[in-house]
A and B are shown apart, each in its own frame.
Chain A
Amino acid sequence: MFTASDLSPADITAALARAGFEVARPQNVRRTLLDTFDGRLHAAGLRLEVREAPGVELILAGGGRGPAHVAAADVPRLAGHLPAGPFRARLAPVLDVRALVPVVTVTARHTEAVQRDGAGKARATVSVYDRLEVEGRHGVADLPAWAAEVGELAGYAKAADGARDLLVSLGLRPGTGDVIDVVATAAGIDLGGFAGSPTVALRRDEPALGAFRRVLANLTGAVEANWRGTVDDVDPEFLHDLRVAVRRSRSVLAQGKRVLPADVRDHYREEFSWLGSATGPARDLDVYAIEWESYVAPLGAQASAALEPVLEHIQARRKAEHAALATALRSERYRTLLAGWRTWLDDPAVNAGGGDSEGAIGQVAADRIGRAQDQLVGRGRAIEEATPAEELHELRKDAKKLRYLLECFGGLYAPAPRKAFVQRLKALQDNLGEHQDAEVHAGQLRAISAELYGTDGVGPHTMVAMGQLTESLERRRQSSRDEFAQRFAAYDTKQTRRALQEVLDSAAGPAQ
C-alpha cells in the first residue's frame, strides 16, 4: 500500500503509462469486507471481500498462495448462500451457523495499470484508488486522498519490486495492508470483530465490589453488543451470546451476596431473571432447528421427507418466539433495566458497603468458586439411577455456575491451569447438555404431535415418522443418562480437585 505524496492520482497513472504500464479507464468500485460479528474469518486468517464494480465478485484471501475469486448474484449472508464447491467448503466450517455481516465498506474510483510481457501476459499490476470514502461514516479525518496497491503475481516478484521502486521514486510512502486496512484504520474500525470475552483484567488484592462491577459491566457490554443482531434475528449466535451474557450476569449477581448492595442485587436479579426467561423459548427452538438435520438424518430419507411439516412447524414457532423476544427486547422494561443497570455500574459514587465488598477479590472469588464446586459435587453424588431428570437439570445449572465463575473471574488466574480444569468440567457439561436437549426436544415433539394431529397436510407417514423421531430422541436421552454415572465419576476425582486447586493457586500473568 502506498499513500501520501504531492502528486495527484493522474500524475501517478501518467508515470505508470510512461513506464510501459497499460492504464485502464477509471471505474467506480465498492469493496466490502465481510466477516461474522465475532470475527471468525479474521481469527482463521481468512479475508472475504465483496467487490462490486459493477458486477458482484467474492474474493477469498488468506490460507493459501493467492486469493480465490467467484462471481455472485448476491452478497451471501450464510454459508449455504456461498457458491457450492471449494469456496463454500473452505468457509462453511469456519462460519458454522454465523451470518456474514459487513465490517467495512469502502467506495472509491479505481484505476488499474498492468505491466505485460511480450506475449501479453501480466507481470505486475498497480491499482490506484482515489475519492475514497467509508460508507456510513462521514468526515473521517485521517482518510488518505488516494492510495495505490501493487499486485504481486506468483513467479513475478521482480516485476512487483520494480513497480514498488517506481512508486517510491515518485515520492510515495510505502505502508502495510491494502486499501481496506488503510481506510479501516483511519475510520477506527477494528477488523477483528467483537471478542465478547467474559474475562476482564483483575488484581487479587483489589476490593471485591469494584471487581464485581467491572465483571458485570463487561457482561453488560456483551448484552448490548448482541442486542441488534438478536432483535433482527441475524443468526442464532447473537441470541446465544446475549443469553449467555445474561446467565453469566445472573450467576455473578447470585454470587454477589455481601459484595453488592442488597437492594441493587435483589432488583437486578429479578430483572435479569425476567430477561433470561424471555430468551429461553426462542433459544430452545434455535437449538432444535440447528440440531434438526442430525436428529432426522439417521432415520433415513423417507422419514426425513415425512417430517418436513414438523420442521416447518418448528420454524414457524421459532419465528413467532423470536418476534415475541424482539418485542421484549424493545420493551420499556428492557430499556429501563439496561439504562438503570448501566448507570449503577458506571456510577463513580458507588462505595463499598461492608460485608465482603471491601475484601480482596482473590479471596472472595476463591470462596465462591470453592462453594460452587462443593455444591456441584454434592448434588452429583446424590444422583442415582432412579433420580428424576430435574435433578440432572439442576446439576447442569450448578456446572454452568462454576464455569461462569471461572470465566468471569478468570482474570485472576493463569490461563493454562484454568483451561485444563475447564476441559474436565466441559466433559461433564457436554453429557448434561446432551441429556437436557434430548429431554426438552422429545417433550416438545410430543406437544407438536398433539398440535399437528389431524391437521391438513399431516398424514400417517408424518405421524409415524414423529413417533420414530421421539423414540430416537428418547434413546439419545437414555444413552446420555446411562453415560452420566461414568462421566460424573471421571469428574469427581482427586485429580479434578487438584486441578481446581492449581487454578486457585495460580497467578495471572503480567498482561493481567
Chain B
Amino acid sequence: MKVLATYSIKGGVGKTTSAVNLAYEAGRSGARVLVWDLDPQGAASFYFRIRPRVKGGTEQLIKAKGALAAHVRATDVPGVDLVPADFSLRHLDLHLDGTKRPTRRLAALLSPLDDEYDVALLDCPPSISLASESVFGAADALLVPVIPTTLSARTLSQLVRFLDEQPGSPLVLPHFTMVDRRKKLHREQLDALAAAWPAFLAATVPNASAVERMGVERAPVAAFAPSTAAARAFHDLWAEIASRLWPET
C-alpha cells in the first residue's frame, strides 16, 4: 500500500478537493483506495456523503493498533473506502502525544490494512504540528496543492525546508490548484514556480465552478461533470502520480 497525504501548511488551497478527486481517479484506475479524513471539519466525509463520526472518538481510534478497520465505510465510488472524521479529531495532537511513538502512530494504525488497499490517501488539516509529523512518518508522498500566488509558494518553501531537516522524509509532489489563467499573476507564478521546482506535477487544476459544485452534488467532479476541464485535470494528475508510484508498470 502506498500512503499519500494531501497536505499543506496553508488552509484553503484545495487539499480536500484534491484528496476526494484523486481518490475517485485512483479508484477508477483500478486501485483499492482508502481515504482517511483527518480534518475535524470532515469535508471529505461530507463529499462522500458519509456521516462524520469517529465511533468511540479519536482517542479510542488512536490507542489501539488494528482499530482502523472497524471505522472503514464504503463510498459510492467503486474501489474507494473512507475512514470518516469528526470534531473529536481537533484533539488529535493531544491523543498522539499520549502514545509511545507519536510520529509513527498513524503508520502503525495503517499497517494492518497494508495488503487490503493499494493506496491510502490522508486528507490532512492545515497546520504543522505533531499530527503533521505523524503524517510525514506514514506517507510515501505528500501531495501539496499550491495556488499560484506568492503566499502559497512561500508555504511550500517552509514545508520543504522543514522536511529537509527530517530523516526519511516523504517525497513532495506539489501541484497547482485554483489556477486562473486569465490572471497575469497566476501565469507568471506558474512559470516561475514550475522553473524553480522541477518536482511540480504538470497537470494543473483550474479554478472552476464544477469544483465549487462538489459541495452541492456531494460527489467528486468526474462523477457529475466528467467532461469538464477540472475533471480532466484530476484525471491527468492521478495518471502522473501513478506513473511515479508504479513506474515499472
Interface centre among A63, A117, A155 (most CB of B within 10 A): A155
Known: A85-B242, A121-B50. A65 touches B73 (CB 8 A): no
Interface centre among A60, A66, A70, A84 (most CB of B within 10 A): A66
| Contact pick for B32, options A86, A117, A122, CB 8 Å | A86
Q: How many A-B residue pairs have CB under 8 A?
A: 95
Could you tell me the distance between the alpha carbons of A270 and B155 in the complex, rounded to whole angstroms?
79
* Min CB gap B41→A, angstroms: 17
Known: A64-B32, A66-B32, A90-B118. A84 touches B74 (CB 8 A): no
In the complex, B213 has a CB within 8 A of chain A: no
Per-residue 0/1 for A54-95: is the Cβ within 8 Å of any B Cβ (1 yes, 0 no)? 000010100111111111000000000001111111101000
**Complex contacts, A84 vs chain B, CB 8 Å:** 242-243, 246, 249
Beta-carbon nearest neighbor of A88 in chain B: B249
Taking a contact as CB atoms under 8 Å apart, the answer to whether B249 and A89 are in contact is: yes
**Complex contacts, B51 vs chain A, CB 8 Å:** 119
* Min CB gap A64→B, angstroms: 4
Q: What does DSSP make chain B's interface, helix, strand, loop or mixed?
A: loop
In the complex, A510 has a CB within 8 A of chain B: no
Could you tell me the distance between the alpha carbons of A143 and B169 in the complex, rounded to whole angstroms?
57
Interface size class of chain A, counting residues whose CB lies under 8 Å from the partner chain: 20 to 34
Chain A stretch 103-159: residues in CB contact (< 8 A) with chain B: 117, 119-122, 153-156
* Min CB gap B69→A, angstroms: 8
* Min CB gap B70→A, angstroms: 9
The stretch that binds A, out of B3-11, B23-31, B180-188, B197-205, is B23-31
In the complex, B104 has a CB within 8 A of chain A: no
| Contact pick for B115, options A63, A86, A87, A153, CB 8 Å | A63
Could you tell me the distance between the alpha carbons of A88 and B118 in the complex, rounded to whole angstroms?
11
In the complex, B117 has a CB within 8 A of chain A: yes
Taking a contact as CB atoms under 8 Å apart, the answer to whether A119 and B31 are in contact is: no
Could you tell me the distance between the alpha carbons of A155 and B51 in the complex, rounded to whole angstroms?
11
In the complex, B65 has a CB within 8 A of chain A: no
Beta-carbon nearest neighbor of B2 in chain A: A86
Could you tell me the distance between the alpha carbons of A86 and B48 in the complex, rounded to whole angstroms?
23
27 interchain pairs, CB-CB under 8 A: A60-B30, A63-B115, A64-B116, A64-B117, A66-B79, A66-B81, A68-B27, A68-B31, A69-B30, A69-B78, A69-B79, A70-B28, A70-B29, A83-B29, A83-B30, A84-B246, A85-B31, A85-B246, A86-B118, A88-B246, A119-B51, A120-B49, A121-B49, A121-B76, A154-B73, A154-B74, A155-B73
Q: What 17 additional pairs, Cβ within 8 angstroms, besides A66-B79, A69-B27? A: A60-B30, A64-B115, A64-B117, A66-B81, A67-B32, A68-B30, A70-B28, A84-B242, A84-B249, A85-B29, A86-B30, A119-B218, A120-B49, A121-B50, A122-B76, A154-B74, A156-B73
Q: Which residues of A contact B (CB under 8 A)?
A: 58, 60, 63-71, 83-90, 92, 117, 119-122, 153-156
